[in-house]
Copies of this chain bind each other. A is one copy, B any other.
Amino acid sequence: MTSSEAWLEQLHDNGYRITAARRAVVDTVFGATHSLTPQEVYESARKKYRALGLVTVYRTLEKLEELHLIQRVHQPMGCHAFIAAGIGHQHLLLCQHCGQVEFFEGDDLDALTRSIAKKTGYQIQEHWLQLFGLCANCR
């Protein structure tokens, strides 16, 4: 079972309909090892469903993000790309050469967070962490 079926099921369970256009977008984003911009999703998904419109890509990405199935990837060069979301509390590791995206977990920022909270008076709610480097193939 290509598990992109699970995403379609999620869409369906939330009252959204399953269409050929959405299948093409979901299949494209689900399997990606690199983050994809709406334009890139469009170009790739159109190979699976020729009549697809770019607007539908935007609309589908919006729904997938709302259901936390995908997440936006922030990079120095731009923040318009998406990737399948990590499960639980994870952060991204990005290859600066080939663009490959991986997740990691196990960061422990509690001590830092407490220390900064004390120092600044902030009540800290959330954090973003991202590592950049060269993947095994590119190094």
Residues of A within 8 A of B (CB): 74, 79, 93, 95-96, 102, 104, 106-109, 112-113, 115-117, 119-136, 139
Q: Given the interface contacts A74-B74, A125-B96, does A120 sit within 8 Å of B104 by beta carbon?
A: yes
Nearest chain B CB to A97 CB, angstrom units: 10
Give the copy number.
2
Least Cβ–Cβ distance between A47 and chain B, in angstroms: 30
Q: Are A133 and B129 interface neighbours, CB within 8 A?
A: no
Q: How far is the CA of A117 from the CA of B131 in the complex (A)?
A: 10
- The 10 lowest CB-CB distance pairs between A and B, nearest first, are A121-B136, A124-B133, A126-B132, A128-B130, A79-B79, A122-B133, A123-B139, A125-B133, A123-B134, A74-B74
